[in-house]
Amino acid sequence: MPNSSTTHEVLTAVFQVRHFPADAVASRSGAVCHAGGATELAVLLWQRARDPQADAWSLPGGLVRNDEDLITSARRQLAEKVDVQEVSHLEQLSVFSDPHRVPGPRTIASTFLGLVPLPADPKLPTDTVWHPVSDLPEMAFDHGTVVEHARTRLAAKLSYTNIAYGLAPAEFPMSTLREIYCAALGYQVDATNLARVLGRRGVLTATGNTARSGRTGGRPAALYRFTDSCLRVTDEFAALRPPV
């Protein structure tokens, strides 16, 4: 039987927007580091203790059991690294199936994108660390490629879905949402227009609450929440819309 020894694993790129202190940032080159560090998109990685690829960094995941579907498997594997309650969004990415992508028995990898919202800060095992995506360490196997795919997918979906609900707190001022978009997209986004775009599409709902202004003054910010807490496509057709 030519396929008897093929196994199937799940790998998840879990992202969160996190603040990295100045000293950690200073050593790197291209990072946007204003005083006090930088707010960046981070991915959860663990460092391999044993060969193959000892010391290289891996995505959380593992073999799929015979009685679970892939998303269940992904959640189960993540439970070993973070509190699963904190994972607000999980979706399938593509499958990596090169017969020689890992040494040993042939293993097909189904990859997932996971999101953890602010301000969660789960306790992590000692081998597991959040890494800024702008400065990834040496990655095991094809895991670096998986992270790139996940990043690209996240950036794309930020522009035509409400996927940011997976990164944002339950209630937030526009300035926080702006930081999230800037970190995840990697370029500056205007809070004014962001509010208008997402407002028009019905993605955001005003809660009526306001944040207290900071020590340094300033008008108190209105607080918003995401209208839906599951993925919704909000701008389906860029062109070639169906006639009304």
Q: Which residues of the shown chain bind a copy of itself in the complex (CB under 8 A)? A: 2-8, 63-71, 92, 94-95, 97-99, 106, 108, 110, 156, 158-160, 181, 185, 187-189, 194, 197, 235-240, 242-243
H or E stretch including 76? Answer: helix 70-78
Torsion of CA 152, 160, 16, 147, to 10 degrees: -20
* Residue spans of beta strands (DSSP E) within the chain: 7-20, 38-47, 57-58, 61-63, 89-96, 107-115, 128-132, 172-173, 204-210, 222-226
Q: What residues line the site for DNA (CB under 7 A)?
A: 173-175, 190-193, 195-197, 200-201, 210, 212-222, 235, 238-241, 243-244
For the CB of residue 4, give the shortest distance to a copy of itself in the complex, in Å.
7
Nearer to a copy of itself, 30 or 208 (CB): 30
30's contact among a copy of itself, DNA, none, with CB below 5 to 8 A by partner kind, is: none
> Which CA distances in Å does 219 have to 94, 168, 180?
45, 22, 21
For the CB of residue 149, give the shortest distance to DNA in the complex, in Å.
24
64's contact among DNA, a copy of itself, none, with CB below 5 to 8 A by partner kind, is: a copy of itself
Q: Residue 160: what residue type?
A: Y
Instruction: Dig out the tokens for 190 from the structure.
Output: 């205007």
Nearer to DNA, 35 or 49 (CB): 35
Examine residue 119 and say whether the peptide bond preceding it is cis (omega within 30 degrees of 0). Answer: yes
Nearer to a copy of itself, 45 or 189 (CB): 189
19's contact among DNA, a copy of itself, none, with CB below 5 to 8 A by partner kind, is: none
In whole angstroms, give the CA distance from residue 191 to residue 176: 9
Q: Residue 234: what residue type?
A: T
5's contact among a copy of itself, DNA, none, with CB below 5 to 8 A by partner kind, is: a copy of itself
187's contact among a copy of itself, DNA, none, with CB below 5 to 8 A by partner kind, is: a copy of itself
Judge whether 236 and 222 are in contact, CB under 8 Å: no
Nearer to a copy of itself, 155 or 211 (CB): 155
Nearer to a copy of itself, 7 or 213 (CB): 7
